[in-house]
Copies of this chain bind each other. A is one copy, B any other.
Amino acid sequence: MSGAQQPIGVFDSGIGGLTVVKALITNLPQESIIYCGDTARVPYGTKSKSTIVRFSLENVEFLLRLGVKCIVIACNTSSSWALPTLRKFFKVPIIGVIRPGASAAVRLSKNKRIGVVGTRATINSKAYDAAIHRLDPAVKVFSQCCPLFVPLVEEGWTQGAICRNVVETYLRPLQKQRIDTLILGCTHYPLLAQAIRQVMGAGVSLVDSGEQTASDVRAVLAGNDMLANGRLKPRYRFFVTDEPAHFHQVGHRFLGQLAGSVERAHLQG
């Protein structure tokens, strides 16, 4: 099918989506990727639905101008609020991170008590609740927004007393609910996995949507006969809306070694 050799388009409010890119590169090594991080307007998680939808539309328009064959929304906030609108406006396959995360959690949970942590916008959207209940209406979902988690990660304070105290403060209500599975509903949160594991204990499985999202992307591409055939060397291009310097400095925390160019994107905004 035409388009199969085109790159996968990935966008996020900033750099957190690189954790999803990492999973895509590992699981779909023959695919080229174009990433757009809206670092000039980051974060989305503190903002309202209408603004999140508008910014998301602009990201997708930018990626489509570069000829991507599908869109991966590597941002929980945008997946939560903008996915239905994006699917209405654009014809290419669009994959968010909510359904994959919900699906992995429902499979993992034994006691059917699942926790979700995310930004204020993600939690307020109740998108995870809806996705989980579509898979299993009997699951009880307990949600908690954690506005300080992203700033902690961006500051690099992912261990130590402050980190531990913040994590404990947010997760205490979830501990009391005896969840056995916790969805890390923000692409920054896997960098806090160790601190979260210390607080929640080994009995609680942590779900990072990245791996399951890569699996979903593979399924969608295969279903549309759009998997790259592996004859071309994959190419990675990274775009950001603020200056690329910061991306160079911190991108490796999320992605490991960066193998690709970093350029400045000019969206409408």
Contact = CB atoms under 8 A, between A and B. Distances in A.
Interface of A: 39-42, 46-48, 50-51, 55, 147-148, 151-152, 154-155, 157, 161-162, 165-166, 169, 241-243, 245-246, 268-269
Contacts of A152: 148
> How many copies of this chain sit in the oligomeric assembly?
2
Given A40-B41, A147-B155, 17 more contacts: A40-B47, A41-B41, A47-B242, A48-B242, A48-B243, A48-B245, A51-B242, A147-B151, A148-B151, A148-B152, A148-B155, A148-B157, A162-B165, A162-B166, A162-B169, A165-B165, A269-B269
27 contacts: A39-B47, A40-B41, A40-B47, A41-B41, A41-B269, A42-B46, A46-B154, A47-B242, A48-B242, A48-B243, A48-B245, A48-B246, A50-B243, A51-B243, A147-B151, A147-B154, A147-B155, A148-B148, A148-B151, A148-B155, A148-B157, A151-B151, A161-B165, A162-B166, A165-B165, A268-B269, A269-B269
Contacts of A166: 162
Contacts of A51: 40, 241-243
Contacts of A55: 40
A268 B41 CA distance: 13
Nearest to A41: B41
A161 B165 CA distance: 8
Contacts of A161: 165
A155 to B, nearest CB: 5
Contacts of A50: 243
Contacts of A269: 41, 268-269
A10 B151 CA distance: 27
A139 B203 CA distance: 57
Contacts of A154: 46, 147
A154 B145 CA distance: 13
A121 to B, nearest CB: 11
A40 B154 CA distance: 20
A241 B46 CA distance: 13
Query: What 3 A-B pairs come out closest when comparing CB atoms?
Result: A48-B243, A151-B151, A269-B269
